Amino acid sequence: TPEDFVKELNNLSADTVHIRFNSPGGSVFDGTAMFNAIKQHKSKTVAHVDGLAASIASVIALGADEVVMAENAFMMIHEPWSMVMGNSDDMREEADLLDKVGGTIMNTYVKKTSMKESEIKDLVRSETWMTAEEALEMGFVDSIEEDTGDEKAKATLFDLNVFSNVPDQLIGERETLTARELETLLKNSGFSNK
């Protein structure tokens, strides 16, 4: 849980803390707490994107002092999502919240990359999947870790069917999700029951 992560991280006193990522994302608010814990840690922090840093995981990784990406890994950014049930006022309220959340995420990407906000907006609207080379070129990561021949964590361990533009090399041979499986996936990713 985010609480466990923050507690464990805060108990570390090493000169350098290495944090490894292979995640399709999850709850924005949980991720924000993790990002802030990494950002505020007294040790030097190094994020290693081993397989996938998608959605809020891409934000969490940027909390580190240094971001290193495996040459065969991916990073994905997109606009925040939500699920809400209710009347038109509920929908407007949720849309306003999404705009605010999107703005904070946008600021994180702009600060890390030094790209213009309009450029980042285009990337998140398009659900952009980046190879390590692309992420480095755009400034999302600081360096690329060459493949040492060790088996790396594979992003294909995740069911990425909820995303629109998944690169072919990350699409496994999975069946189409049933409504119940999709509901479970979204719930496990941090969405409320609503």
Active-site position among 41, 48, 58, 78 = 78
pLDDT (tens, 9 = 90+) of the chain, 194 residues, equals 889 999 999 999 999 999 999 999 999 999 999 999 999 999 999 999 999 999 999 999 999 999 999 999 999 999 998 888 899 999 999 999 999 999 999 999 999 998 999 999 999 999 999 999 999 999 999 999 986 554 444 444 566 666 777 777 666 555 566 777 778 777 777 777 76
What pLDDT is attached to residue 161?
Answer: 66
Q: Are 76 and 57 in contact (CB under 8 A)?
A: no
- Report CA dihedral (143, 10, 5, 58) to the nearest 10 degrees: -30
Closest of 34, 43, 46, 35 to residue 7, by C-alpha = 34
Beta strands 74-77 and 66-70 are: unpaired
Q: If you ran DSSP here, which 8-state letter would residue 175 be given?
A: P
User: Packing angle between helix 88-113 and helix 28-40, nearest 10 degrees?
Assistant: 30
**Annotated catalytic residue 18:** no
- Give the 3-state secondary structure of residue 120: helix
Catalytic entry in 41, 48, 55, 58: 55
Tell how strand 16-23 and strand 66-70 pair up.
unpaired
| Whether residue 55 lies in the annotated active site | yes
Joined tokens for residue 188: 């496990």
